[in-house]
Structure 1
């Protein structure tokens, strides 16, 4: 199963573009800082994640202010067939206080 959940802040978003079929697409950048337990030891993690919102979920990213914190859910997929760098495809957003 390919399911990814990340609590992060929206730190950058590109202008909306449209696929040839007219579907809205927005690329964005998310930043996460926190801790994870690895073999019984707390490990500090700070990372930046390239993400994309396609279709109706794009509206959620468009309306979010930069710096807003949310729980993002979705899946990871290669950027393109030739570029195997992973991109987070957002399918659900839940804003955090």
Structure 2
């Protein structure tokens, strides 16, 4: 199963573009920070990840403020030419 649930803030938001199929697409950079338990210890986690929203979800993501920290859901895939990872956003909640 390939499913990611991530609470994050938007660091960067590009202009809307369109896929070859004519769907709107929005490229983003997300930042996540939290404390998690690992092997009985508290650990601070901080990461930045490239993300993309495609289709109907674009309007909802575009309407978010940069100070908001919604919960994004979706899946991971490789970038073109397999260099890095992209989080494909398919859902959004407060």
Q: How high is the TM-score relative to the length of structure 2?
A: 0.94
Paired residues for 1:85-96 under 5 Å: 85-95=84-94
Aligned to 1:59: 59
1:29 aligned onto 2:34:
no
Distance between the aligned counterparts of 1:84 and 1:29, measured in 2? 16
Deviation of 1:83 after TM superposition, in Å, equals 2.5
1:13: which partner in 2?
Answer: 13
Off by >4 Å, runs of 4+ in structure 1: none
- Verify the 8 A CA contact 1:11 1:67 in the aligned structure 2: no
Aligned residues: 94
Superposed displacement of residue 38, structure 1: 0.9
In the TM superposition, what is the alpha-carbon distance from 1:18 to its structure 2 partner?
0.4
Consecutive unaligned residues in structure 1, runs of 5 or more = none
Q: Per-residue deviation at 1:36?
A: 1.3
3-state SS, counterpart of residue 46 of structure 1? strand
TM-score by length of 1: 0.91
Could you tell me how far 1:84 is from its partner in structure 2? Answer: 3.4
Equivalent pair of 1:16/1:25 in contact (CA under 8 Å): yes
Q: Which runs of 5+ in 2 are unaligned?
A: none
